[in-house]
Structure 1
């Protein structure tokens, strides 16, 4: 029995060690790059990364969903330009005889509960914690923004099933790193990434993936926050 217990402990330790040092896969790296380049409005380099994302196995609908998701964080102009850039990439690949995988469409949302309550539930699933009854200062100052966040961002957008919560948070933190100077929001979403199964090592790899596109200040700021998680 003692030998069996030792073997079980060793297996648990090995699994834990593996999780800590798990690497980002190619699709995750593509998601991060596409997000950051859209936030940065670097359309020429984005074309290359969009094509690479398709080559790495992301579907057309997954990338389209990513670009739509981004408008909540970087604005409609950049999101729409990202979609236009993606259309150009798809046309060029089609002309070159490449048939890309469309992937599944978003399922209809048939939940009839009030959107505010649905959004609250999604946010609690993201953070793995019940929401505090005391709202942050900015939500007290502007109750409207709280309503828009719960009803639109977390209900209308995060509820869509083309991308997982983990993928959506990866998109979000990559965009926030590229934007820069939004440390409180970045810290919050990096924490959610941990709750959604990404490790600190993987988050550091996200920053490393974005290194060719961003200045040292933004990269260091992100790394400092990750180290403090």
Structure 2
């Protein structure tokens, strides 16, 4: 009888352990929507429009709304420029028209909420940046911020207030957009390093970021993925 009870207890422990591990793996994996965001962002930033059409369709099929995908493509312009973003939006319009002609009705999704704050855009942007990095912003400016103070103001007021403050996408989703574009265009390793650190600060896990590199490899290529992998390794090693 004691032997039977021990076997039952052992079996229960194994099942519980397996369940916990499965839940952990699910939590630490990028879901289909997150992977779609990475692919759409990277292809838009790279300007690979035929491939983008395929991934826009796939993104809609995962359950991303029209407004979420529009927000992803709009966000891209902050890192790859207006031309890439506008071409991405034009490509998305073609995809939506074709789907509508085929009788497919896509979910529009929520629109960005109005900003109700008396604080200046600079102060709002500063607060958002502090939340993203987990590091208080000081008044002492160094590096590019001291060399060109205007761009530091633009970053706070426009990038982190006008763009990051919009609630159609979460901070984690916006960071996935950001690191996808930075990885796809290449040559901006210091910025990629900063945003990979932010990714960890807003809840993305090392496992998810390693998976992100795999998605970049499948979507853009080995060269871009290898460069991103090198920077990610440095970031994780420093933790």
User: TM-score, structure 1 length as denominator?
Assistant: 0.90
Cα 1:218/1:134, change in 2 over 3 Å: farther
Tell me how far 1:218 sits from its aligned partner. Answer: 1.8
What per-residue deviation string (whole Å, max 9, x for no partner) do you get for residues 54-93 of structure 1?
0000000000011111111110011000000000000000
Asked if 1:66 is matched to 2:72, the reply is yes
Say which of 160, 183, 186 aligns to 1:180.
186
What is residue 206 of structure 2 aligned with on the other side?
200
User: 5+ unaligned residues in a row in structure 2: which ranges?
Assistant: 1-12
Asked if 1:161 is matched to 2:139, the reply is no
- How many residues in Structure 1 have an aligned counterpart in Structure 2? 218
Contact 1:120 1:150 in 2 (8 A): yes
Contact 1:20 1:200 in 2 (8 A): no
Tell me how far 1:134 sits from its aligned partner. Answer: 3.2
Tell me how far 1:128 sits from its aligned partner. Answer: 1.7
Asked if 1:142 is matched to 2:153, the reply is no
Cα 1:19/1:88, change in 2 over 3 Å: same
Asked if 1:41 is matched to 2:47, the reply is yes
What is residue 232 of structure 2 aligned with on the other side?
226
Distance 1:136 1:78 in 2: 31
* Comparing 138-147 and 19-28, the one that deviates more: 19-28
Contact 2:37 2:59 in 1 (8 A): yes
Say which of 188, 194, 217 aligns to 2:223.
217
Q: CA RMSD for the aligned pairs?
A: 1.9
Distance 1:170 1:34 in 2: 11
Say which of 161, 174, 196 aligns to 1:190.
196
Higher RCO (CA-CA < 8 Å; seq separation 6+): 1
Distance 2:82 2:227 in 1: 26
* Comparing 132-141 and 145-154, the one that deviates more: 132-141
Cα 1:132/1:217, change in 2 over 3 Å: farther
Say which of 107, 117, 128 aligns to 1:122.
128
What is residue 18 of structure 1 aligned with on the other side?
24
Tell me how far 1:228 sits from its aligned partner. Answer: 2.0
User: 5+ unaligned residues in a row in structure 1: which ranges?
Assistant: 1-6
Runs (4+) off by over 6 Å:
none
Contact 1:37 1:213 in 2 (8 A): yes
Structure 1 or 2, whichever has the larger Rg, is 2
Say which of 41, 48, 59 aligns to 1:53.
59
Contact 1:21 1:201 in 2 (8 A): no
Asked if 1:112 is matched to 2:118, the reply is yes
Distance 1:22 1:179 in 2: 26
Tell me how far 1:207 sits from its aligned partner. Answer: 1.2
